[in-house]
């Protein structure tokens, strides 16, 4: 098995920088576009995310998940932080409207990483309102208040659906693993 | 994977909010306290679930723009190549600082400061005049590694800060205000200081990660019993990338008797004895009384 690109970065292998951008650059760009107000914001965010990545590559632990999940976690953390900061700043450029992003069909995410496929299968089994709240909050980056305004759900219901939905996905991802180990497709 | 800790609804709520829209400083404090109690909790579990869900969405197939890719690659190669040398350099510099500061640094600091009165005259008073009212604080990540980290389980800086806060009324706590410096456009967080033990912690989010080979952040403590022109050096620190919150132990070089204001500047690596006025990134004024 080839060495993880993050491990190579952590030990100072400059070529791993290029390999990492080849492998994950489009993913980080896609996440940044989805969770940034404008294209310019997304470009700034991508630079910050990669800087975070170069410096935290040594923290990658394959026992906790794949490189894609580790990198997506770092990217989301930075993007949420930027969104929170921009929310405190008045005015700014108008938000660019992108096509709404939805859930991929289960069975189509395996090529991305095993956790993505498990999550796709898990989310498909959620109640519609939980699925919708996760879609708006996780994929589209809307705040709980924005989700409440958009869906008409009370804020408390949005929060409950978000919490229960995430926990349920976590539990269902474990079930998928157990079923797969037993040779049964979920 | 043990997810029993998520049965604590409040803890789960805070972890979810942290993952989806971020926490206020008060919420962050609460989360830290709950996590201290739940030693088996995995504070990143919900973030990893959210990451997996992000990957389960149709994100599109737009490619990373070529110009942006070039910038990222150039920055990355430079940073990765310099990382090991930088760590070694900083460690050795800190060692030198400790060895040379033992006997003479306090008096030397005062002497040099006095010789540069003209240079700094008017700076700190101007700071006070321009300081914005305290804004609602937000939180940040860690971390300047604790000095002399033990191989056994030692309290983290976040846990030590909470322990200090638990001492109650004698503790000074003050929120950071941004100054408009581009290094910290939306800096939030707070200072916690205990005069009795002369210990304290800085907590930030929104400070731009620094390259320690080029610059470091430096804390200055204004003491109501001292001349404003000679704030106390509170130590230098770095903001590593990849963490949302930085918690830094304060290393005051002189006794602090009555803290009135804390200020953070950007200085050359290793810090300075007397600061210039170029980069004042955050201020925290201590409420009177």
pLDDT tens digits, B114-133: 333 333 334 444 433 333 32
Residues A19, A76 share a domain: yes
pLDDT tens digits, B87-114: 444 344 444 444 433 333 333 333 333 3
Q: Give the residue from B6, B47, B51 with the most A CB atoms within 10 Å of its CB, the best one to mutate.
A: B51
Domain boundaries, chain B: 4-55, 104-285
Average of per-residue pLDDT across A64-87: 89
Contact B57 A17 (CB under 8 A): no
A144 found inside a domain: yes
Q: Is B262 exposed, middle or buried (0-12, 13-18, 19+ CB in 10 A)?
A: buried
Residues A54, A127 share a domain: no
Residues A69, A9 share a domain: yes
In which domain, by residue range, is A19 found? 5-87
Number of folded domains that form chain A: 2
A105 found inside a domain: no
A101 found inside a domain: no
| Chain B contacts in chain A segment 118-137 (CB below 8 A) | 118-120, 123, 134-135, 137
Average of per-residue pLDDT across A138-167: 93
pLDDT tens digits, A125-150: 999 999 999 999 999 888 899 999 99
Contact B83 A12 (CB under 8 A): yes
Please report the sign of the dihedral spanned by the C-alpha atoms of residue A45, residue A50, residue A56, residue A57.
positive
Residues A83, A9 share a domain: yes
| Chain B contacts in chain A segment 39-68 (CB below 8 A) | 43, 46-48, 50-56, 59, 64-65, 68
A100 found inside a domain: no
Higher pLDDT: B2 or A9? It is A9
Strand spans (E) along B34-148 = none
Nearest residue in chain A measured CA to CA from B87? A55
Number of H helices, E strands in chain A: 8, 0
Whole-angstrom distance, CA of residue B79 vs CA of residue B69: 15
A79 found inside a domain: yes
Percent above pLDDT 90 for chain B: 20
A94 found inside a domain: no
Q: What is the pTM of this model?
A: 0.60
* d(CA A1, nearest CA chain B) in Å: 23
The dihedrals phi and psi of B264, each to the nearest 5 degrees, come to: -120, 130
Q: What is the 3-state secondary structure (H, E, C) of B136-179?
A: CCCCCCCCCCCCCCCCCCCCCHHHHHHHHHCCCCCEEEEECEEC
CATH at A83: 1.10.1740.10
Cβ-Cβ contacts under 8 Å between A and B: the total is 221
Nearest residue in chain A measured CA to CA from B46? A166
Mean pLDDT (chain B) is 74
- Nearest beta carbon to residue B62 from set A29, A84, A173: A29
């Amino acid at each position: 098995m080839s060495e993880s690109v993050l491990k190579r970065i952590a030990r100072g292998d400059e070529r791993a920088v290029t390999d990492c951008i080849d492998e994950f650059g489009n993913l980080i760009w896609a996440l940044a576009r989805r969770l940034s107000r404008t294209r310019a914001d997304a470009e700034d965010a991508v630079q910050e995310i990669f800087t975070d990545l170069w410096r935290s590559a040594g923290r990658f632990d394959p026992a906790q998940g794949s490189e894609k999940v580790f990198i997506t976690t770092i990217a989301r953390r930075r993007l949420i932080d930027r969104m929170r900061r921009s929310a405190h700043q008045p005015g700014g450029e108008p938000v660019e409207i992108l096509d709404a992003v939805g859930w991929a069909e289960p069975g189509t995410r395996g090529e991305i990483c095993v956790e993505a496929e498990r999550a796709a299968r898990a989310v498909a089994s959620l109640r519609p309102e939980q699925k919708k709240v996760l879609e708006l909050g996780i994929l589209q980056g809307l705040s709980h208040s924005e989700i409440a305004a958009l869906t008409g759900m009370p804020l408390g219901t949005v929060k409950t659906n978000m919490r229960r939905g995430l926990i349920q996905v976590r539990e269902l991802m474990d079930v998928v693993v157990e079923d797969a180990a037993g040779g049964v497709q979920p | 994977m043990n997810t029993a800790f998520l049965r604590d609804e409040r803890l789960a709520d805070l972890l979810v909010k942290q993952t989806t829209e971020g926490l206020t400083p008060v919420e962050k404090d609460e989360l830290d306290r709950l996590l201290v109690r739940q030693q088996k909790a995995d504070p990143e579990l919900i973030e990893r679930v959210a990451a997996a869900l992000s990957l389960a969405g149709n994100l599109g197939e737009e490619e990373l723009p070529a110009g942006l890719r070039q910038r990222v690659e150039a920055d990355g190669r430079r940073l990765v190549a310099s990382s090991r040398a930088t760590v070694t350099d900083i460690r050795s510099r800190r060692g030198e600082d400790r060895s040379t500061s033992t006997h003479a640094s306090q008096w030397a600091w005062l002497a040099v400061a006095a010789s540069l009165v003209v240079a700094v005259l008017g700076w700190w008073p101007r700071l006070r005049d321009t300081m914005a009212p305290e804004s609602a604080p937000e939180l940040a990540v860690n971390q300047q590694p604790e000095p002399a980290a033990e191989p056994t389980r030692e309290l983290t800086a976040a846990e030590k800060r909470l322990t200090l806060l638990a001492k109650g009324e004698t503790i000074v706590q003050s929120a950071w205000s941004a100054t408009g410096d581009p290094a910290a456009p939306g800096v939030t967080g707070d200072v916690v200081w205990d005069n009795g033990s002369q210990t304290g912690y800085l907590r930030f989010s929104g400070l731009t990660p620094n390259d320690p080979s080029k610059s470091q952040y430096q804390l200055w403590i204004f003491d109501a019993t001292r001349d404003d022109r000679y704030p106390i050096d509170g130590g230098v620190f770095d903001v590593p990338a990849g963490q949302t919150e930085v918690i830094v132990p304060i290393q005051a070089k002189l006794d602090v008797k009555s803290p009135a204001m804390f200020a953070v500047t950007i200085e050359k690596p290793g810090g300075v004895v007397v600061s210039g006025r170029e980069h004042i990134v955050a201020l925290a004024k201590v409420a009177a009384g």
